[in-house]
Structure 1
């Protein structure tokens, strides 16, 4: 008995027609090229995906492009991300966070068959479009988004919440190992003003988010 298809992987009537069209157009017995030729008709489009599944959508779309032999019609597939530093169990981890949840950028020479292949990719809900027409973005518009991702890699932001009055321990700098209370928070500069006790007197000092940890005291 054949294995049942996952509902997300079942072929729709539209996809059957697409597959027949693509098979009829494909030359038989032709060896695969090492790399797709540059297509002057490539334009950038944005597809909507389930939030949190952007990377899965990218992988699924790449697999479908290969399965339908569409490598010559699809170029880059990008997910704009930015580095974010998180604290887990007192340790710092830098991860690439998707800063445009639910959006995937695809460079392609869009036609009706390719539209169906993309639209029927699991967890894709559609194109960013005006009326019935998907919106094509310029190279400059896409680069502006992707370059924002590259620029933030030089200075990752720390994903950690602080509140006034909270007790923290300074881990680096001249006041390392001092405990104090948070007096002010600057989210833009990623700094805290912490009141530490020096010779029994409260003294303010400014430290970065990355140089403190939450204290139980």
Structure 2
């Protein structure tokens, strides 16, 4: 009885996608009627001089798919963007539902991180000021920030690459 339930009950599996084609694979699988999930995360980046929030795959090159063992798996092999099903010993490995639920919950929980605003406290991650904190003043061009730091008993303005700071 347990084997029959496992055979017909849908579970989550992992699809390995072709290089940089996980979004394409997800679109094509959804178009074929499969239930898919591609976890994403949001991050900030400066594009054309403007700070933008982008969404990228949390696991680049992979998409989760929900199937039962009795479903037709054959179309997966010829779906554009799909490379193979992740398997061990020739058998696809089911992923626990609570793992997927946890990923979905984290993805839909609003992030406390937003675009930098004047007066935001930031931490410098690299360079000679690494691990120091400063106040964000403004953007300086495409990829640089102007910060206000307390350094040598004085407030100093410092310009650093945007990639070297994170909001606290």
TM-score using structure 2 length: 0.64
d(CA) in 2 for partners of 1:108 and 1:150?
A: 23
What is the Cα deviation at residue 147 of structure 1?
Answer: 2.5
Which protein has the bigger strand share?
Answer: 2
Structure 2 SS opposite 1:58? helix
Name the larger-Rg structure. 1
Work out whether 1:155 is the aligned partner of 2:116.
no
Cα separation, partners in 2 of 1:192 and 1:149, compared to 1, 3 Å: farther
d(CA) in 2 for partners of 1:117 and 1:185?
A: 51
User: Structure 2: which 5+ runs fail to align?
Assistant: 1-7, 121-126, 136-146
Which one scores higher on RCO, CA 8 angstroms, separation ≥ 6? 2
d(CA) in 2 for partners of 1:171 and 1:83?
A: 17
CA contact (8 A) 1:183 1:192 kept: no
Q: 1:172 aligns with which of 118, 121, 133?
A: 118
Structure 2 SS opposite 1:137? coil
Cα separation, partners in 2 of 1:102 and 1:143, compared to 1, 3 Å: same
Work out whether 1:54 is the aligned partner of 2:41.
no
Q: Once superposed, what is the RMSD of the aligned Cα atoms?
A: 3.7
Deviation string 1:128-173 (CA, Å, 9 cap, x unpaired) is 111110011111011222233234x413478xxxxxxxxxxx9712
Work out whether 1:107 is the aligned partner of 2:66.
yes
Residue of structure 1 in register with 2:82 after alignment: 124
d(CA) in 1 for partners of 2:78 and 2:24?
A: 14
TM-score using structure 1 length: 0.51
What is the Cα deviation at residue 80 of structure 1?
Answer: 0.5
Cα separation, partners in 2 of 1:63 and 1:173, compared to 1, 3 Å: closer
Structure 2 SS opposite 1:136? coil
Structure 2 SS opposite 1:125? strand
Cα separation, partners in 2 of 1:80 and 1:197, compared to 1, 3 Å: closer
Runs of 4+ aligned residues of structure 1 deviating over 3 Å after TM superposition are 191-198, 208-211
What is the Cα deviation at residue 210 of structure 1?
Answer: 7.3
